[in-house]
Amino acid sequence: MTPIIDLFDPVFFVMVGVSINLRVIDMTSGAFWGFAGVLSAVALASKVVSGVWAAGGWHEKILTGVAMVPRGEVGLIFAEVGKRSGIFDDASYAVVVFVVAVTTLVAPLAMRAIMKEGLYGENKR
């Protein structure tokens, strides 16, 4: 499966990128930033909360939750299905893709901050 996945993964991401209608994105719009902000907050919070069920102390739980954040390919698949089925219009689809990109970029930075020595006193590394 790996060669097939390696072949079609880039094709999928290119197709998602090409299908975004950039004309509907208004970066000065409060609606765009409000929708993107709410979706980002829900995406981040829900995945961080999922770490509560991980084994270990609070440090490991929070780290596990933050590690769950960059699940962009799954979000893109659902966004693409939503767009093709008519659930998302072009503007909503663009916001969802934007949020997937932001959360994917934020997670490694957050993990780095969490793993820094001294952030959690009982679990210094």
Q: Given this model, what pLDDT does residue 33 score? A: 93
What total number of domains does the chain contain?
A: 1
Q: Does residue 38 carry a pLDDT above 90?
A: yes
Does the residue 77 lie in any domain?
yes
Does the residue 98 lie in any domain?
yes
Burial of residue 100 (CB within 10 Å: 0-12, 13-18, 19+) is buried
Q: Given this model, what pLDDT does residue 117 score? A: 53
Q: What percent of the chain has pLDDT over 90?
A: 11
For residue 49, give its domain range: 41-119
Does the residue 15 lie in any domain?
no
Q: What is the distance of C-alpha 98 from the center of its chain?
A: 9
Does the residue 96 lie in any domain?
yes
Most confident of 19-28, 38-47, 49-58, 64-73: 38-47
Q: Who contacts 37 (Cβ-Cβ below 8 Å, separation ≥6)?
A: none
Does the residue 17 lie in any domain?
no
Does the residue 31 lie in any domain?
no
Q: Does residue 106 carry a pLDDT above 80?
A: yes
Q: Does residue 123 carry a pLDDT above 60?
A: no
Q: Given this model, what pLDDT does residue 118 score? A: 43
pLDDT, tens digit (0-9, with 9 covering 90-100), for 60-104: 888 888 888 887 778 888 888 888 899 988 888 888 888 888 888
Q: Does residue 9 carry a pLDDT above 70?
A: yes
Does the residue 19 lie in any domain?
no
Does the residue 76 lie in any domain?
yes
Please answer whether residues 18 and 12 qualify as being in contact, where contact means their C-beta atoms are separated by less than 8 angstroms. no
Q: Does residue 125 carry a pLDDT above 70?
A: no
